[in-house]
Amino acid sequence: MILALFTLLTALAISAVAAFYSIVGLMAIFSASALSIAVMGIVLEIGKLVTASWLYQNWKRVPFLLKSYLTIAVIVLMFITSMGIFGYLSKAHIDQGKGVAEIYLKVERVDNRIQTQRNTITRYEKQLLNLDTALNKYLDLGAVSKGLAKRDEQEPERKELVSLINKSQEKIDLLLEERAEYQLQINSFEVEIGPIKYISAIVYGDKALDYIDTAVRTVILILVFVFDPLAVLLLVSANISFAEYNEKRKRALARKRKQLEKQNEGKVKTTVTEQSNGMKKITKQQGNVSMEYYE
């Protein structure tokens, strides 16, 4: 009996939690009529449990069409509850990663700006290399004086190129500092999603972070397929336990009744009845044998 009660309470607790998640999830999906959805969800959840319990207890007596409809109704309601739970958990995951998605975009923009500055530095360095190549030609021809003169002519351009390279490098340093701040926020988020990241790593290996959303959806689906069906099946199990308990109790009462009847078989039962003429009718009975006399 204790196990049956515990099973029933567990079923109701799981069902209540599932109903809460489902109703909140459905309210998020149909946010324009949140209150109406909440009322509808509560009534349907209660109706689902009552229907499942009633259907089990009256399964053999219910007509086929009614039995089929109620069974389909319970399955559909379980699907609706599961859909609401999926919506609730999905929204929670989206809310958790909403700010991080913007940070990823900022990091991508910073990386693009860093790459632009590096390309600029590469272009300036190529210009310096071209200037050096031009001087080397004079040296190869033995025209040292002309080479030195050309070097003096290049000096302002060289200084300008070096200055531009330094400025680009300074910009890169600032961008790297900005990127480091964003990376700290991303690292903090990855700590929060650490468990799901490891689950994703089991399947996707080094590309785990690229499949976080897929891993989350998989975990949510697993929870959905277990949550509400478990509550309904535990409720049915509680009905089975109560039915077995009642059956055992009936058998025990029947055994006690038979024992009392056997104990009373050897005893004499005396009944006294007052007659209208003032006499008393006395009846004595032992088993199936009875005797009457008057006093």
Residue 25 confidence class, pLDDT cut points 50, 70, 90: confident
Quick one: pLDDT band at residue 200, thresholds 50, 70, 90?
Answer: low
Task: Strand 269-274: give its sheet, edge to edge.
Answer: 269-274, 280-286, 289-294
Number of CB atoms found within 10 A of residue 193's CB: 19
Rounded CA separation 151/132 (Å): 9
In this structure, are residues 48 and 81 in contact, taking their beta carbons and an 8 Å threshold? yes
Least confident segment among 68-77, 177-186, 206-215? 206-215
Average pLDDT over residues 135-143: 63
More confident residue, 73 or 278: 73
d(CA 208, CA 202): 8
Most confident of 15-24, 132-141, 151-160, 286-295: 15-24
pLDDT for 145 beyond 80: no
pLDDT tens digits for 233-264? 888 888 888 888 888 888 888 888 777 666 65
pLDDT score at 115: 92
Which tens digits make up the pLDDT trace of 49-106? 888 888 888 888 888 888 888 889 888 888 888 888 887 887 777 766 666 667 778 8
Q: Which of 7, 19, 5 is nearest to 233 (CA)?
A: 7
Is the Cβ–Cβ distance between 292 and 282 less than 8 Å?
Answer: yes
Nearest Cα neighbor of 1 from 245, 237, 239, 240 is 245
Q: Which of 157, 144, 24 minimizes the C-alpha distance to 85?
A: 24
Alpha-helical (H) ranges within the chain are 2-29, 34-57, 64-141, 144-192, 194-204, 212-265
| Distances in whole angstroms, Cα of residue 28 to Cα of each of 44, 118, 239 | 18, 46, 34
Q: What's the rounded Cα separation, in Å, for the pair 83 and 191?
A: 29
Q: What is the pLDDT of residue 128?
A: 78
In one letter, which amino acid is 221?
L
Q: Give tens-digit pLDDT for 163-180.
A: 888 888 899 899 898 888
Q: What is the pLDDT of residue 237?
A: 84
Task: Assign 227 to helix, strand or coil.
Answer: helix
Asked whether 147 and 135 are in contact (CB, 8 A), the reply is yes
CA distance 48 to 22: 13
Q: Distances in Å between the alpha carbon of 25 and those of 18, 31, 80, 90, 96?
A: 10, 10, 10, 9, 16
